[in-house]
Amino acid sequence: MSDHPTKSGNALQAILENNSYNPTRLVQVLREAQEVEGWLSDITLSDIAQGLNLPIARVRSTANFYSFFYTRPVGRYRVLFSDNITDRMQGSGALFDHMLARLKLTDNQVSADGAVSVARTSCTGMCDQGPALLVNNMAVTRLTPRRIDEICDLIKAGLPLASWPSYYFKVENNIRRRDMLLGANWDPGVALRAAIARGPKGMLNEMKISNLRGRGGAGFTTAIKWDAARTAPGTARYVVCNADEGEPGTFKDRVLLQKYAGHVFEGMTIAGYVIGAAKGFLYLRGEYTYLLPDLEAHLDGLRRSNLLGQNICGQEGFNFDIEIHVGAGAYVCGEETALIESLEGKPGKPRIRPPFPVTYGYLGQPTTVNNVETLCKVLEIATAGGAKYAGQGTKQSTGTKILSVAGDVDLPGLYEYPFGVKISQVLEDCGARDVQAVQVSGAAGICLSPREFGRRIAFEDVPTAGSFMVFNKKRDMFDVARNFAHFFAHESCGFCTPCRVGTSIVSNIMDKIAAGHGTQYEMNELGRLTKVIRGSAHCGLGTASCNAISDTVQKFRATYEAKLKSADFEPAFDLDKALAKTRAVANRDDADAHLETSVGGH
Amino acid sequence: MSKKPVAKKTAKAAKARKPAKKPAAKKPARVAKPLKAVTAKKPAKPAKAEAAASARKPKLRIATTSLSGCFGCHTSFLDIDERILQLVEIAEFDRSPITDIKHCGPCDIGIIEGGVCNAENVHVLREFRANCKTLIAIGACAINGGLPALRNHLDVTDCLTRVYCDRAGGKNHTVPNDPELPLLLEKVHPINEVVRVDYFIPGCPPSGDAIWKFLTDLITGRMPRLDHELLRFD
C-alpha cells in the first residue's frame, strides 16, 4: 500500500480499514472515498486497487459503471435534478433552466471555481413531492423558482449542507390509505418470536399457506424462493432486501424504510431464521442515502435489544445480522442478479440465469432476494398465520399492495389496497380528473387508457411493482413515452447489444419525431425495433424497455401521427447546416456549396 | 426440416438455417414481391430462365455506386464470378463502374456502398433514391458510416486547416475553394440518415455469396435472408 502524506491518502487508509480490505465492499469503498474529495481521481482508484488487492481494471470498470461515481472533478455542490416525467409535469424543466441561468452554467458543466455543477438524473423517488433534486445525494423536495434562487444563493455563499434550512430536506410520507401494513404498529420482536415459536419449517409452511408473492413486480411466490434457498447446498446463506427502488414513479420503499424500518429488518430476520442465514444485506439505492444514518441507528437499537446479533431472542444458535449496502445510481441493480454483482463489488450487470440466486447467489451461495414490501408482509403472516393473510386480495394475489400514486392527482402519496382493486377506484380516491392515461408499474410497466380503467391491480390482470402515474387530458402521451425512452437509453447497462444499441436508436427516433422530422418510416422502425429488443435482450430491463412505446403507439397513436411529416423520409439533421463549417473555411457561398434539406416527392 | 438422418450436406444446411434469426441482417427485410422490371409488363423470370426467352423480355435495371467507400463492396460483388452471366441474362446495369454511366435513370434496384461524407454524395444518393424502386445499403460504411466516420470525432474545420494551411514550407496556404470540389459535411452519415433505405447487406465487405443470395432472393420474390454462414466473418 502506498503511503500518502496527504489528507485524502490517510482518509482512504481509514476507509479501507473500516471495510476490512474486503474487495466485495468495493462499491462501498468507492462511495466513501468519493465523499473525501468529491470525485475519484486516478491516484485514489489505484490506491483502492492496491488496498483491496484488485486489478486496477476491475476498480475502474466498477467506478465507471455507476452514474454517482465521478472519475472527473464535479462541483463541490453536485446538483442533480430528478428527470422523471412526473417531475417534468411539475415544471422541473423550467426550474433546471432557471438554475443554469442563475449560475451561468450549461448542463453538466462545472463552474470555473469548481463550486457547482448541475445535471439531470433518473427518477429520485420523490414523485409525490416534486419537483425534486439531489444535492450531494441529499434530496431537496417541492422545488419552486424561489427555492431555486435561495439554493443558488446558499451555493454562492459556500454554506455547507448542514447549515442549509432543514425544511429543504424534509421528505413527507404522504400515506393516504392504510390497510394491513401501513395501518399496523410495529411491536419489536413480536412477529419474530411468533416465527421462532412456529420453527423454521412451521413458518415456511405458513408462508406457503399465505401464498405471498413478491412485491417487486415479477410476483414470484416467496415461500418457493425461501424453500429453495433453504434446501440448496451451500456453506452459507444470505438474505438480501432489494431497496434499489429505481422504477420511475415508485416511492413506497422509501416510505417503508423511513417509517416502517422495524418491519423491514424484522422481516429480513425472519427470512434469515427460515432459510438458515446468518447474514442479511439491505441494498439501499444511492438516491436514498439520506436514510442511512437513521437506518444504521435502528440496526444498533435492534442489536441492543437482542433482535439482531448472537442467539437472537435467546434462541440458541440463531445468529443474524444486517449490513447496509448503498448503491450508486444504477436502475439495473434492481434486477436481482445485477444487485448481487453490485454487492460483490462489481459493475451491476445481470447474470445469466439459471442458476438462480437461490442456489448460486451472493459469493456463489444460496441467497434469497426479496423486495422491501414483501419482507414487511412477513410479519403479518408470522403473527396472524398464513390463512388469515390468504383471506385478503384475490385468489392468485393474496394480501394487500401499496401503490405509489403520482402525477395529475389531488392527493399524491401511498395508497394501500387489497389486491383486486379497480383502477377507477384508485383514481377516484386520489382525486384524479379528466384522466387520459395511467402508467402502472413504471416505465417498464403498462399504459392504460380510460377504456381499461375497469381492470384490476392483481397479478392476474394488471401486475405492478407499485408505481401508478396519472396523466390528465392536457398531457402529451408522446412526451411520456419519450421520457421513458431516454430513461432506458441512459440506464441500459451495456452488456447486451439489443438493449445497449436498441434503446439508443429508439431514443434517437423519438427525438427525431419530437423535432418534427418523423415520417411513417420512423413509425415502422419503432415497431420493428421494439420487437427485436423485446425478443433478444438479456434481462428484464431490456425486454421491458419498449413497453411504453408500444403501448402508447397502440393506444395514443394520434399524438404520434400529429407530429409526422407526410414525406417519404426526412433527415434528422439540417443538411445545409452540416456544410456550414466547410463553407466558412473554404470561403465559398456558390450554389454547389448549399443543399436543400428536404427533397419532396419521392 | 426433417429430423431423420439425412445426407450430410442437407443436415449442415438445416443447422445453419437455425441461428439465422438472431444475427440476421441489421434490418431484417420485409416480404418482397417479385420485382417487375421498370419497363416490363410481365414479371421477370427467375435467374434460371432460359436465355432465349429472357433475351426478348425487358430486363431488370440495376444501378450501383460507391459514395464515401473503398469500392471493396463492388470488388466483392465481382466475386459472384461466372454467376454474373446469369445475372446479365435477366438484368442490365444502369449507372455502375461497369458501364461508366454518369447519372442513374429509372431502375429497379439501386445498390449503394459507402457513407455520406460530402455534398456530392448527398446529390448522388438522392438521385438513386428518386430513381430506384428498391434501394440497398451494402457494407459497413453505408450502414454505419464505417471507416470514413472515424473523422466524426474530429472537428472538420480543424482537419482542413491542418491539412491545407498549417503544412510546413510556404505561407498563405488556404483551403481550396474550387466549386468543382464538393464540400465536406460536418460528420459522415450512414445513408439511412439521409434517405429511406429498403434493405441492408452487412459486412466489410459482404461476401460475393452473400450478395448473390440476397439478390437472387430479392429478384425471385423471396424474403431476402442471410444465413449465419453468410454473416460470419471470423
Whole-angstrom distance, CA of residue A225 vs CA of residue B49? 64
Cell 421520457 locates to A483
Output DSSP code: residue B191: G
Check if the beta carbon of residue B223 is closer than 8 Å to that of residue B95: no
Q: Is the ipTM, as predicted for this complex, more than 0.85?
A: no
Query: What's the mean pLDDT when you consider all of chain A?
Result: 94
Closest to A581 measured CA to CA, from B120, B175, B193: B175
pLDDT at res. B172:
74
Tell if the CB–CB gap between A579 and B157 is shorter than 8 Å.
no
Burial class (CB in 10 A: 0-12, 13-18, 19+), B97: middle
Q: Return the closest-CA partner of residue B29 out of B128, B127, B106, B134.
A: B134
Contact B177 A586 (CB under 8 A): yes
- Which of chain B's residues have a Cβ under 8 Å away from the Cβ of A599? 126, 130
Q: Which residues of B touch A (CB under 8 A)?
A: 22, 27-28, 119, 122, 126, 129-130, 155-157, 160-161, 174-177, 179, 181-187, 189, 193-196
**Model confidence pLDDT, tens digit, residues A147-173:** 999 999 999 999 999 999 999 999 999
Which chain B residue shows the shortest CA-CA distance from A584? B157
pLDDT at B1: 37
The alpha carbon of residue A510 is apart from the nearest alpha carbon of chain B, in Å, by 14
Check: CB of residue B74 under 8 Å from CB of residue B63.
no
Taking an 8 Å Cβ-Cβ cutoff, which residues of chain A contact chain B?
A: 519, 521, 528, 532, 536, 568-569, 571-573, 575, 577-588, 590, 592-593, 595, 599, 601-602
Contacts of B193 in chain A (CB under 8 A): 571-573
Residues A550-564 have pLDDT tens digits of 999 999 999 999 999
Mean pLDDT is lowest, of A114-128, A566-580, B161-175, for: B161-175
What's the rounded mean pLDDT across residues A526-542?
Answer: 94
- The pLDDT value recorded for residue B211 is 97
For residue B12, the model assigns a pLDDT of 41
% of chain B beyond a pLDDT of 90: 65
The string of pLDDT tens digits covering residues A440-459 is: 999 999 999 999 999 999 99
In chain B, residues with a C-beta closer than 8 Å to the C-beta of A520 are none
Question: How does pLDDT run across B127-152, given as a tens digit for each residue?
Answer: 999 999 999 999 999 999 999 999 99
pLDDT tens, position by position, A247-258: 999 999 999 999
Are the beta carbons of B176 and A586 separated by less than 8 Å? yes
- pLDDT interval class at B167 (50, 70, 90): confident
Instruction: Please write the tens of the pLDDT for every residue from A284-304.
Output: 999 999 999 999 999 999 999
Exposure string for A392-403, b = 16+ CB within 10 A, e = fewer: bbbeebbbbbbb
- Please report, rounded to a whole number, the percentage of residues in chain A having pLDDT higher than 70: 98
Q: What is the pLDDT of residue A594?
A: 93
Bridge-based pairing state of the strands A138-140 and B116-118: unpaired
Least confident of A13-17, A324-328, B26-30, B77-81: B26-30
As a whole number, mean pLDDT of residues A21-30 equals 96
Question: Does the distance separating the beta carbons of B22 and A585 come in below 8 Å?
Answer: no
Residues of B with CB below 8 A from A575's CB?
Answer: 122, 185, 194
For residues A325-349, give the mean pLDDT: 95
Asked whether the beta carbons of A82 and A140 are under 8 A apart, the reply is: no
pLDDT tens digit sequence for B57-88: 789 999 999 999 999 999 999 999 999 999 99
CB distance A130 to A92 below 8 Å? yes
- Region B98-122: mean pLDDT is 95
| pLDDT band at residue A128 using 50, 70 and 90 as cut-offs | very high
Best A530, A531, A582 member to test B by mutation, with max B CBs in 10 Å, is A582
Contact check, Cβ <8 Å, B184/A588: no
Distance between CA atoms of residues B11 and A597, nearest Å = 52
With an 8 Å Cβ cutoff, are A528 and B28 in contact? yes
Is the backbone of residue A389 left (phi > 0), alpha (psi -120 to 50) or beta? alpha
The residue with cell 451555493 is: A155
User: Do A588 and B177 lie within an 8 Å CB cutoff?
Assistant: yes
* B100: helix, strand or coil: coil
Question: Which of B120, B154, B185 best tests the A interface by mutation, with the highest count of A CBs <10 A?
Answer: B185
pLDDT-derived band at B158, boundaries 50, 70, 90: very high
For A575, other C-beta atoms within 10 Å of its C-beta total: 21
pLDDT band at B40 (very low <50, low <70, confident <90, very high): very low
Contact by Cβ (8 Å): A517, A565: yes
Q: Return the half-sphere exposure (C-beta side, CA atoms, 13 A cut-off) of residue A475.
A: 29
Please answer yes or no on whether B119 and A593 come within 8 Å at the CB atom. Answer: yes
- Which residue has cell 490506491? A47
Residue B9 binned pLDDT confidence (cut-offs 50, 70, 90): very low
Residues listed for chain A: 602
Would you state the pLDDT for residue B57? Answer: 72
Average pLDDT of the segment spanning A493-499: 94
B193–chain A nearest CA distance, Å = 6
How many other CB atoms sit within 10 Å of the CB of residue A467?
A: 30
SS3 B112: strand
Band of residue A18 on the pLDDT scale cut at 50, 70, 90: very high
Looking at the predicted structure, is the pLDDT value of residue A419 above 50? yes
- What residues have CB less than 8 Å from B94, skipping those under 6 apart? B61, B62, B63, B101, B104, B105, B107
Percent helix / strand / coil, chain B, rounded to 5: 40, 15, 45
Provide the percentage of residues in chain A whose pLDDT is more than 90.
93
The candidate with the shortest Cα–Cα distance to A426, out of A414, A442, A441, is A414
Q: What are residue A140's DSSP bridge partners?
A: A133
Q: Structure pTM?
A: 0.88
What's the mean pLDDT in A572-577?
92
Rounded distance between C-alpha atoms, residue A34 and residue A30, angstroms: 6
- Contact between chains at A599 and B126 (C-beta distance less than 8 A): yes
